[in-house]
Structure 1
């Protein structure tokens, strides 16, 4: 693992132990990456899945037990200055990061009949504005000739409609467009930019009914797990993926919409 010795990865949105963010942290830590993750418990406590307030601290200690450095911070990504705050703290506590995983997302149910300006703005500020500003700040500070990695998370918005999630689909779809253009701009800096669509993933939000309805749509006979997308991202940040950029990777087990 000499090629990743000392590399530092930022993962946003790793509040919950069952979530995709936590799975990404574990997968990268197991390969020797040092980890800095963000969380925002106020959002998760308002969601149906809820969380225990000590889950981020449990995750941090779990990562440290894997033999890597691990730090975290509670961060409201809707704050316009969040990207600067985050990169400053990462630099102070771990050093200059090599990898940025934009995993954090804001999502509530709404459609054309009830979507408000305030709710649309909340989706925009986290899903697209924060992703853009974090990526820009990361790139501006990247001080190496190659090996930089940005991986965004999306939900396959261009593969089919998402009725009842108008704001989420709109803002997450913009992440695909951001990825394609930003990848061309950052390639000369030695940074690849890709986006991963994990498809429906059981992170604790699926009821038994939802899971039973989804399983027939997966040819493998099961729904997605957080570890599935974490494996895809582990590859995209590796040296083996240095020639892959500007791609939308549908890592969703053949899910049929």
Structure 2
């Protein structure tokens, strides 16, 4: 019997330039070229994966920074530009994940576009705005953030797990990556109570979901990207925030994207049930 402590063969240590070749991925909240979802999708495509981009333009259009000026197809074209595997493809489609039926519909649409299989699920979407301090929040704010930031993610994972259970044996290792925020660090997020509660629930559920999906050979991890420059702040407030990073700059969308892409590869196959901070030493 081979010892579990055997030294890996030399071939297994050579780095594959396309570690996600032949894999498929669904990335939610990938609707703006300034956003984290777009950066994640580009990394996955550059690693060889086919990618389905989810977008909900009405949400973006309602924000101060607005929707991508050239629309979802321009976002998809930006991902297609870095496709590394000639056999890979990029698809996109809308989805209102506040609708309880939305997550299952999205997984079904993505699976159909990607040839019936989803290997990687990156739940990057979130509700922006409609929040406040403890004194300002109300039931509607709490419910809105719960529906989009927590409930929809769990329902996405549920639909993904059901799809995964029906896939043939020997399919590539499955990956789920969720997104949390900095609610568990420093003073928390006292001005975004509804968002902090909803995102904190995902961090707390990470290990439970990892155990639930272990029998399907799926790892589940959650990433806290810290403050990332996605175009929502400028002026003195922007500069003040930059000074809180040891490097003197904000996180960029590709900073967490590199971590998420690595978690999607076989190299991270022994990492599951973890909440990982990727915030450049941010000092709160």
TM-score class normalised by the smaller sequence: over 0.9
Separation in structure 1 between the aligned mates of residue 205 and residue 96 of structure 2, nearest angstrom = 21
Q: Between Structure 1 and Structure 2, which shows a larger proportion of helix residues?
A: 1
CA contact (8 A) 1:99 1:237 kept: yes
CA deviations 1:46-82 (Å, max 9, x no partner) are 1111124533110112222334311111110011111
2:178 is matched with 152
In 1: Cα distance, 2:184 partner to 2:78 partner: 36
Radius of gyration: which is bigger?
2
SS in 1 for 2:126: coil
Separation of aligned partners in 1, 2:190 and 2:26 = 32
Long gaps (5+) in structure 2: 1-16
2:259 aligned partner: 232
Match of 1:83 in 2: 103
When the two chains are superposed, the root-mean-square deviation of aligned CA atoms in Å is 1.4
- Structure 2: how far apart are the matches of 1:52 and 1:2? 29
Match of 2:128 in 1: 107
Report the Cα distance in structure 2 between the residues aligned to 1:53 and 1:216, rounded to whole angstroms.
30
Cα separation, 1, equivalents of 2:58 and 2:74: 17
Given candidates 80, 95, 101, the residue that maps to 1:64 is 80
Which of residues 23, 38, 41 in structure 2 aligns to 1:22?
Answer: 38
Deviations along 1:139-189, one digit per CA (max 9) or x if unpaired, are 111125551000001112111311210100000000101111101111121
User: How much does 1:87 deviate?
Assistant: 1.6
Give the structure 1 partner of residue 229 of structure 2. 202
Displacement, 1:247? 0.6
Selected match of 1:171 from 198, 223, 229: 198
Runs of 4+ more than 4 Å apart: none
TM-score (structure 1 length as normaliser): 0.96
